[in-house]
Amino acid sequence: MESVNPATGELVASYPEMSSRQVSEIAEQAHRAHLEWRRTDFVTRAERMREVARLLRLGQQRYAERMVREMGKPIRQARAEVEKSAWVCDYYADNAERFLAPVEVASAASRSRVVYRPLGVVLAVMPWNFPFWQVLRFAAPTLMAGNGGLLKHASNVSGCALDIEELFRLAGFPENLLRTLLIGSAKVEAVIHHPAVRAVTLTGSAAAGRAVASAAGAALKKSVLELGGSDPYLILADADLDAAVSACVASRLINSGQSCIAAKRLIVPRSILPQVEERVVAAMAGSRMGDPINEDTEVGPQARPELRDELHAQVVGSVQAGARCLLGGEVPPGPGAFYPPTVLSGVVAGMAAYSEELFGPVAAILPADDEEDALRIANDTDFGLGAAVFTADLRRGEQIAEDRLEAGCCFVNDFVRSDPRLPFGGVKGSGYGRELSVEGIREFVNAKTVWVR
């Protein structure tokens, strides 16, 4: 298991893969730690979780540089990710007790209520693109609820995974409550079936989601899946085009385009298509691509060379099918897995840029005949994670967001983002279940009915 710097191709570190016996022992240790942890009160849990937040902020630069080296995140974005990870720890430290407070229910009993109790050890299968945030948004609510955790992180960010394990240990959590499993994907199914594991959550591809859901279903264990997205961003004819394009391009280039909720498909009425194309090309061309350790870099490398090559194949295939490449579209010479900001227009059904997730700095512009046609195109996808609409008519925008867009997170006049205060997740091929907010912490608890005659 190797971590390779995607900006240079240099080996960062290598890690021996754990044996099946080691994995089983760690799972059992996590279960025993959970049995101790579940007896603690919320005040104790909150103290520990706030200490994780403090340590994250204290080590912000070091953790950010780890992300830069292992997966190429631009340094300013990496620091912001560490801060956001601290925020979610503070959020659940402040709110977990309220979210999981008993609920009294009137019934035929003299007294009846619902109480929320931990399930046990939860396995988290996490991706490389937000190597701290993805893990902390799982770990903070899961541990505050009294559960334990096993982390199977992406192999290329094993250093981040070990840093996170150490964070919880230094913050005073039980020694084995959150442990990292240095294993490949082939061993995940066996971990799901381990008797110490009670549930599983995955953020990743649709293929990985199907595999995990199948294994969890066979084991009769709860699962939450946050999968890919091909988010539609509708720019309606009455929108402020400068503001809309600015938000769309900012979203498209977050994490060098490697975000499940990025603005992947810009759906534009033909009446304003030339104006939008001009603005998108200018904004994308003005972004600075370079070494992610540099403070002024906005677009770094793709996380691995093979991912860059897959993205380029999607671009080339779309152009061959009739899309117009207005910017970029060529692999730059030199070391590193870099791919330039790219703009495709004239994207229609049958092209990769129309139906597939483009996980990189490629904006696809899809022409629509009118608003109804734009909504049809927006929902003509297997995915349903995020969506946005830009319009001067806020009431109309809210109605579209609430009732017309098939997605779990719908924004009006801004780009989609996750926030600890709001539930996050998708529908259709983007998975099921929710993370964050009260819905997120209640995913991995036993909602237990208590009846007293």
210: in domain: yes
Contact 159, 131 (CB under 8 A): no
Q: What is the DSSP string of 39-93?
A: TS-HHHHHHHHHHHHHHHHHTHHHHHHHHHHHH---HHHHHHHHHHHHHHHHHHH
221 and 255 share one domain = no
The confidence score (pLDDT) of residue 429 equals 97
Catalytic residue among 260, 298, 410, 435: 260
Name the band, by pLDDT with cuts 50, 70 and 90, for residue 194: very high
- pLDDT digit string, tens, across residues 244-281: 999 999 999 999 999 999 999 999 999 999 999 999 99
**Domain of 182: which CATH number?**
3.40.605.10
d(CA 302, CA 292): 11
Name the band, by pLDDT with cuts 50, 70 and 90, for residue 371: very high
**Dihedral of CA 252/253/254/256: which sign?**
positive
The confidence score (pLDDT) of residue 413 equals 98
358 and 443 share one domain = no
The confidence score (pLDDT) of residue 56 equals 99
Active site residue 226: yes
Catalytic residue among 51, 226, 356, 371: 226
- pLDDT digit string, tens, across residues 195-210: 999 999 999 999 999 9
Plot region of 256 (φ>0 → left; ψ -120 to 50 → alpha; else → beta): left
216 and 237 share one domain = no
Report the C-alpha dihedral over residues 359, 362, 368, 373, rounded to 10 degrees: 10
> Which residue type occupies 162?
L
Arithmetic mean of pLDDT, 234-243: 98
Three-class secondary structure of residue 309 per DSSP:
helix
The confidence score (pLDDT) of residue 369 equals 98
130 and 150 share one domain = yes
304 and 389 share one domain = yes
- pLDDT digit string, tens, across residues 71-118: 999 999 999 999 999 999 999 999 999 999 999 999 999 999 999 999
Domain extent for 254: 232-412
**Domain of 358: which CATH number?**
3.40.309.10
The mean of the pLDDT values for the chain is 98
| CB count in 10 Å sphere of residue 106 | 7
CA 145-147-149 angle, to 5 degrees, is 130
306 and 432 share one domain = no
433 and 354 share one domain = no
242 and 370 share one domain = yes
Share of the chain above pLDDT 90, in %: 100
The confidence score (pLDDT) of residue 217 equals 98
352 and 384 share one domain = yes
The confidence score (pLDDT) of residue 400 equals 98
128 and 236 share one domain = no
- pLDDT digit string, tens, across residues 375-390: 999 999 999 999 999 9
CA 291-231-199 angle, to 5 degrees, is 90
421: in domain: no
- pLDDT digit string, tens, across residues 24-45: 999 999 999 999 999 999 999 9
Three-class secondary structure of residue 208 per DSSP:
helix
Arithmetic mean of pLDDT, 51-56: 99
81: in domain: yes
Name the band, by pLDDT with cuts 50, 70 and 90, for residue 283: very high
417: in domain: no
What is the total count of domains within the chain? 2
218 and 247 share one domain = no
The confidence score (pLDDT) of residue 177 equals 98
264 and 222 share one domain = no
User: For residue 274, with 0-12 CB atoms within 10 Å meaning exposed, 13-18 middle and 19 or more buried, which class applies?
Assistant: exposed
